[in-house]
Structure 1
Amino acid sequence: MSICLSRDELAELCRTSRKAGQIAFLRLNGIRHYLDAYGWPVVTRAAIGIPQESDAAPAPRWRPNKCASVR
């Protein structure tokens, strides 16, 4: 899974395959994006709330090490 939406996913989100229409949709809805070298909008998955694979795994729970106490 890529960190950014593919062009197909972006077209599905914006309901248009035209880059001008996609840019207008993203601006109108306040979705953070940037333009690549060819003028196409690029949207990260985090900008629209799709969790990354690394975000899905819970952090390990902290447990005290009782036998390493200093006297």
Structure 2
Amino acid sequence: MSDMFLTKDEIATLTGRKSKSKQIEALRTMGLPFWVNALDAPVVPRSAIEGRRDLPEPKPEKLPWIPAVLR
């Protein structure tokens, strides 16, 4: 499970900052998804920088019902 998120050192390297608040500021500027945990530290999913999408693909929308006389 530890490889699911970037380590503290990786976040520091990515942002160029050691302070948690400055890391959060840098991540917001970069537009990367992250969460702030109970320790006020940013948590970045590894998939955010590796380009992977672990989310399921969205299902195609169903076409609306059209009466036969209008087809």
TM-score between the two structures when normalised by the length of structure 2: 0.66
User: Pairwise mapping of residues 13-52 of structure 1 onto structure 2 (< 5 A)?
Assistant: 13-49=14-50
Letter in 2 for 1:15: G
- State the AA in 2 paired with 1:19: K
Alpha-carbon distance in structure 2 between the residues aligned to 1:16 and 1:50? 23
AA aligned opposite 2:37: D
> What's the TM-score, normalizing by structure 1?
0.66
Unmatched segments (≥5 aa) in structure 1: 52-71
**RMSD over aligned Cα atoms:** 1.4
Can you list the C-alpha shifts for 1:14-68, whole angstroms capped at 9, x where unaligned? 00110011000000110000011111000011011266xxxxxxxxxxxxxxxxx
Q: Which ranges in structure 2 are unaligned for 5 or more consecutive residues?
A: 53-71
Identity %: 35
2:4 partner SS: coil
Runs of 4+ deviating beyond 6 Å: none
Count of residue correspondences: 51
1:58 matched residue in structure 2: none
